[in-house]
Amino acid sequence: MIGLASDHAGFAYKEQIKRLLAEWKLPFRDFGTDSEASTDYPDWGHLAAQAISSGECTQAILVCGTGIGMSMIANKHKGVRAAVCESSTAAQLARKHNDANVLCIGQRLIGWDTALDIIETFLETVFEGERHQRRVTKIHSLTNL
């Protein structure tokens, strides 16, 4: 299950991502927001990140103006490894090396074609494990998150 969340500044992309995932037949849950009315990104990012911690979702895609605020709230949750990506190369490495389970993108910073490329890469790329596994494990053991 892929969790989705956005604030007002990421709402349009979240709706496009929903159409994309439906087309790809990938199950998702939308944690909000539900309009372009001004709102606070932590409220929505928190709900999706909690779903990663609980195991309800294995991955999440969070959208705000920059992706930065969403990554900050998401990374305060147990088991979350959120990465802000502005290129498919970043998304590929976030998966290969960091086993990122949450993708954060900024609707105000990247065009839809780039966002699409990033999302496809994020969902398709497999974690490389080995030495990277040791490092990823430390992220959680050192922080208790």
Is residue 22 a contact residue for ligand RB5 (CB under 6 A)? no
Is residue 74 a contact residue for ligand RB5 (CB under 6 A)? no
Selected binder of ligand RB5 within 2, 4, 5, 7 (CB under 6 A): 7
Selected binder of ligand RB5 within 64, 74, 103, 105 (CB under 6 A): 64
| Least Å from the CB of residue 8 to ligand RB5 | 7
Q: Which stretch binds ligand RB5 (CB under 6 A): 62-70, 79-87, 91-99, 131-139?
A: 62-70
Question: What are the percentages of helix, strand and coil residues in the chain, rounded to 5?
Answer: 50, 15, 35
User: Inter-axis angle of helices 112-124 and 88-96, to 10 degrees?
Assistant: 20
Is residue 45 a contact residue for ligand RB5 (CB under 6 A)? no
Q: Where are the beta strands (DSSP E) in the chain?
A: 2-6, 28-30, 59-64, 82-84, 102-106
d(CA 96, CA 94): 6
At 142, is the secondary structure helix, strand, or coil? Answer: helix
Is residue 33 a contact residue for ligand RB5 (CB under 6 A)? no
Say whether 64 is catalytic. Answer: yes
| Least Å from the CB of residue 64 to ligand RB5 | 3
Which residues partner with 82 through β-bridges?
102
**Which residue, among 75, 73, 65, has the nearest Cα to 13 in the 3D structure?**
65
d(CA 123, CA 121): 6
Q: Which stretch binds ligand RB5 (CB under 6 A): 25-33, 52-60, 61-69, 126-134?
A: 61-69
Is residue 9 a contact residue for ligand RB5 (CB under 6 A)? yes
Residues that bind ligand RB5 (CB under 6 A): 7, 9, 41, 64-66, 68-69
Residues taking part in catalysis: 64, 97
